[in-house]
Amino acid sequence: MEQLASIDAVRRYRKAVSGSLGFVPTMGALHEGHAVLIRRSTAENDATVVSIFVNPTQFGPGEDLHKYPRTLEADLELCAREGAAAVFTPNSAMMYPAGFTTWVNVDGLADKLCGRSRQNHFRGVCTVVAKLFNLVAPTRAYFGQKDAQQAIVLTRMARDLDMPLEVITCPTVRETDGLALSSRNRYLDPRNRQRARSIYKALQAAETGLAAGETDVATLKRACWAELDGNVDRVDYVEILAADDLGALEAVDKPALCAIAAFVGSTRLIDNVILAP
């Protein structure tokens, strides 16, 4: 496996590679959720590139940029084990040289859910992913349903900007008790790790309600809140929106994204399920 540590190196690698190229962008601190994306990419492409870059422009002031876990050695081992052909590890100075002023905004979709409380978050995500797409020029790029809004926003970006690649969204990988795997789970102490289970339980409450015939969005959201109450420290949002364009819904009469963001201690966790009528 090659480690590509500069823009020149990734461009040279891209020129030399033939056949289809899969791409898995990450911020490192890799776990089984990332491994599944890499495995899917290696199964569907002749070669796979993983990028590891903690992108500063998608973090807001006071967020966890500086304490975000950095575990490069273990990450490189995981990538090699899962069959990645190359890992791109740029730094901030390369990605954002002095004078950098160009941003990619996906209006509308990026203003909802996480975009409401994390101003400029998706501007940072879209800009860095657009740059990575330009450098890696993949045939297919793989993202996790865990970050559902990110996948929707990036799919729209690629379509709107005629990027010549396929964006593929892969199912969320969970712990046995349902907690979605996340690099941020390692911030949780044992007590908060237990309390964090309530997020997936809340999503399941909405699924159970729908299965019992309840389609009213306000009622289903109340069922989510009841599970979160007393278990999380602050709810950022509980939302049920149209799964395709994040439009408002009063009833689940078409596929809906049920999404939650909540703080357990000082750790902000997100998760979601698709509610299918």
Give 132's contacts (C-beta < 8 A, 6+ positions apart).
23, 25, 51, 53, 88
Interacting residue with ligand AMP among 75, 147, 227, 236 (CB under 6 A): 147
Burial 19-46 (b: 16+ CB within 10 A, else e): eebbbbbbbbbbbebbbbbbbbbbeebe
Interacting residue with ligand AMP among 51, 89, 127, 183 (CB under 6 A): 183
Q: Considering the rule CB under 6 A, would residue 144 count as an interface residue with ligand AMP?
A: yes
Interacting residue with ligand AMP among 53, 133, 143, 200 (CB under 6 A): 143
CA 68 to chain centre: 15
Write the single-letter amino acid at 245: D
Rounded to whole angstroms, how far apart are CA atoms 167 and 104? 17
Is 252 or 267 the residue whose CB approaches ligand AMP more closely? 267
Q: How far is the CB of 144 from ligand AMP (least distance, A)?
A: 2
Q: Considering the rule CB under 6 A, would residue 126 count as an interface residue with ligand AMP?
A: no
Q: Considering the rule CB under 6 A, would residue 37 count as an interface residue with ligand AMP?
A: yes
Q: Could you tell me if 48 and 22 are in contact, meaning their C-beta atoms sit under 8 angstroms apart?
A: yes
Q: Considering the rule CB under 6 A, would residue 182 count as an interface residue with ligand AMP?
A: yes
Q: Considering the rule CB under 6 A, would residue 259 count as an interface residue with ligand AMP?
A: no
Q: How far is the CB of 126 from ligand AMP (least distance, A)?
A: 13
Q: Could you tell me if 25 and 130 are in contact, meaning their C-beta atoms sit under 8 angstroms apart?
A: no
Which one of the spans 83-91, 131-139, 170-178, 261-269 is the region binding ligand AMP (CB under 6 A)? 170-178
Q: How many of the chain's residues bind ligand AMP (CB under 6 A)?
A: 17
Rounded to whole angstroms, how far apart are CA atoms 72 and 49? 15
Interacting residue with ligand AMP among 13, 21, 23, 26 (CB under 6 A): 26
23 forms beta bridges with 49, 141
Which one of the spans 33-41, 108-116, 157-165, 238-246 is the region binding ligand AMP (CB under 6 A)? 33-41
Rounded to whole angstroms, how far apart are CA atoms 239 and 272? 9
Give 39's contacts (C-beta < 8 A, 6+ positions apart).
82, 83
Whether 121 sits among the annotated catalytic residues: the reply is: no
Q: Could you tell me if 84 and 1 are in contact, meaning their C-beta atoms sit under 8 angstroms apart?
A: yes
Q: Which residue number is nearest to ligand AMP in terms of Cβ?
A: 144
Q: Which stretches of the chain bind ligand AMP, using CB under 6 A? A: 26-27, 33-34, 36-37, 143-144, 146-147, 170, 172-173, 180-183
Catalytic residues: 34
